[in-house]
Structure 1
Amino acid sequence: MSELIFYTGYIFFSIAFYIPSLLASQCWSGRRFSTSKFIGVIVYNIFCVYVHMRFVDRGVLPIVGEKNNEILGWASFVMMFMYMFSVPMPWEGKKLKVISKYFKT
């Protein structure tokens, strides 16, 4: 039972830590773009990619310690690419309807 709780928690927290990056890439692109916002999001994304990369490579999580699971490794691998493509850009991209509905972009 504890493994199921860990799997659920890992996926939940992976998505929860990804949401600020996604919101920043959607809300700060285009006319609201600035270099300081871009650098802030890049630093956050690099930290999160480092955590996921370390889990894929060594099976180590910062608080939990060593865990070995192939499925969560693939989830971390996908999350690394999601972070890499979630950065604000100086041009206006296609907005997600849910984000533009609740956040004035």
Structure 2
Amino acid sequence: MNDLIFYTGYIFFSIVFYIPSLLGSQSWSGHRFSISKFLVVDAYNVFCIYIHMRYVERGVLPVVGEKDNDVLGWASFVMIFIHAVSTPMPWERKKLKFIGKYFKS
């Protein structure tokens, strides 16, 4: 049961830590784009990618230590690519409906 709680928490926190990247890429694209905003979101994404890559390669998490699971490894592998494509762009992105409702220009 303890492992199930950990696995659920890992997936949950992976999604929670992805939300700032998603919001930054959606709300700072287009005419609100700037190099400083791009660098902030990219630095955050690089940090998250580093954590996930370290888990995929070695099975090591920063606070927890060594945990080895194939399902969580695949989840981290997917999160690497999701973070890699979540970056603000100088052109206007198509807004997600639930985000566009809250961040109007």
Please state which band the TM-score falls in when normalised by the shorter chain.
over 0.9
Q: Which amino acid aligns with 1:42?
A: D
Match of 1:16 in 2: 16
1:93 aligns with 2:59: no
How far residue 43 of structure 1 moved from its aligned partner, in angstroms, is: 0.5
TM-score of the superposed pair, with normalisation by structure 1:
0.98
Can you give the 5+ residue segments of structure 2 that lack an aligned partner in the other structure? none
Equivalent in the alignment of 2:50: 50
Number of aligned residue pairs: 105
Distance 2:44 2:102 in 1: 23
Distance 1:81 1:2 in 2: 29
* Deviating 4+ runs (over 4 angstroms): none
CA distance in 2, matches of 1:102, 1:4: 35
Structure 1 residue ranges without an equivalent (≥5):
none
Report the aligned-residue RMSD: 0.6
Other structure's SS at 1:95 match: coil
**How far does residue 103 in structure 1 lie from its aligned partner after superposition?**
2.2
- What letter matches 2:64 in structure 1? V
> What pairs up with 1:1-105 in 2 under 5 angstroms?
1-105=1-105
